[in-house]
Chains A and B, each alone.
Chain A
């Protein structure tokens, strides 16, 4: 599903963010990317949805060389990826339903279908009553669930989440993680950047650890949830 081959990312003038990263992630895997601040977690995720380009090396996503895509190709690539951010990035002037539906509308889904899908997703995530509410009046956990619904509306092959629980308390973080596990059940590949060690220990099935831009560790874990299934 994802292949990184000797990937380097150096920001000008000479600040290496990632150094010689090579890894493979299979379809349906649930991967945590961890490491302290500045380790390169966000950069790694950005390379995958082509918000950044590698200085060196190859990135293959579903067999497609991400580096070689033109703007149209990048747009098509992003339609297969769902994105979740720490700061939610919801549009405050739109309702929860409109925020979710927008992601489908911009790729050509009709307004009616987008809204129906958005409603269905919000209902599944327990936000049926909040459809017409604008993000500023939602709690952090609710906002993150709206953002997750938005990431899922186009049935992505891959979901990338950058510190999705960073702004949430422990209880809501647990709830959010349970949602991600549910997403995985549909065969979606999940890659979550987080520095929350406790959370990773509870849920991480594979943990890619970065240190100052280097791949420090790539561990397969068996979690309580895996055992419990």
Chain B
């Protein structure tokens, strides 16, 4: 058993040495394919993360009629609070709205000079329970709020959330489409490398068959070569992705910060990195097996 493993290991090492550039190009292709797939995965995960962050912040702003008295506003608040979708309601009086607006404007708040403090309407900031943060449910709640006496207008950012959800969906599909095409290309390139390796050792394989070597003994080195290419390609792809992520990390929030929370971008987790390695490993093994089966078939005539 150990001597067979030793023999297979020596065969693999010999092939990697003798066909170094062929193996190098295959690993490079594998790295590129897995890198593109990983980049889409990274983008998708971060967009999903962003979406979740936005989801946590989803709230409906219901602006109250200016004619509504404080007492009526309080009873309306209690009523809205009793809706099953509502997590909490914060009442913002006209004065408070004015102060918050001033604070938001900061140094530019001087432009508000001369305006009456009750120019802004009082409002409710309505946070929604996580289970009801779906587009149609939020829309339904907003429609019901609009019908409430004392509420003038209702605003909610659901449209943006829905759009981002669509982007995530597109990225998810693009990942598999682009990744799939590249994986197919890689599969055939691995197959070609193995075919070259087989042809380079055709006489040796023929001799091995004549001496009584088992099929496994003959095929194992080629399958291991394919697997090694896949794993090395996967590791390099993860490393390249990580390097790119590190170098862009400071840039990302300034670009994407316009539309979402900052400093929340993160690299692939262990599961994601393992997925890239497993895909590389499987691609390498499958490409080798495919080529071996074809070659052995044609060889036996």
Contacts and interface: CB of A to CB of B under 8 A. Distances in A.
Interface of A: 49, 51, 71-72, 75-81, 83, 89, 91, 102-103, 105-111, 113, 154
Contacts of B214: 72, 75
Given A75-B215, A106-B212, A106-B213, A89 B3 contact: no
A91 B3 contact: no
Nearest to A76: B212
A75 B217 CA distance: 11
Given A102-B207, A108-B7, 5 more contacts: A75-B214, A78-B210, A105-B3, A109-B3, A111-B10
Interface of B: 1-4, 6-7, 10, 203-204, 206-215, 217
Tell me the dominant secondary structure on chain B's binding face: helix
Nearest to B215: A71
Q: Which of A72, A78, A107 has its CB near the most chain B CB atoms (within 10 A)?
A: A107
A75 B3 contact: no
A89 B207 contact: yes
Given A105-B7, A108-B4, A111-B6, A78 B203 contact: no
Contacts of B206: 89
Contact of B208 (A71, A106, A109): A106
A78 B3 contact: no
Nearest to A99: B207
17 contacts: A51-B210, A75-B214, A75-B215, A79-B212, A80-B212, A81-B212, A83-B210, A102-B204, A102-B208, A102-B211, A103-B207, A103-B211, A105-B3, A107-B213, A108-B217, A154-B211, A154-B212
A108 to B, nearest CB: 5
A150 to B, nearest CB: 8
A5 B2 CA distance: 41
B6 A110 contact: yes
A31 to B, nearest CB: 20
Contact of A77 (B3, B7, B207, B212): B212
B212 A107 contact: yes
Nearest to A83: B210
A78 to B, nearest CB: 4
Contact of A110 (B3, B210, B211, B217): B3
Nearest to A112: B3
Contacts of B4: 108
Nearest to A111: B6
B204 A107 contact: no
Nearest to A94: B204
A78 B3 CA distance: 20
A84 to B, nearest CB: 11
Nearest to A102: B207
A105 B203 CA distance: 16
Contacts of B217: 106, 108
B3 A108 contact: yes
A134 B228 CA distance: 31
Contacts of A71: 215
A78 B7 contact: no
A35 to B, nearest CB: 23
Contacts of A51: 210
Contacts of A79: 211-212
Contacts of A109: 3
A111 B211 contact: no
A214 B195 CA distance: 41
Contacts of A49: 210
A111 B212 contact: no
Given A106-B7, A106-B217, A91 B203 contact: yes
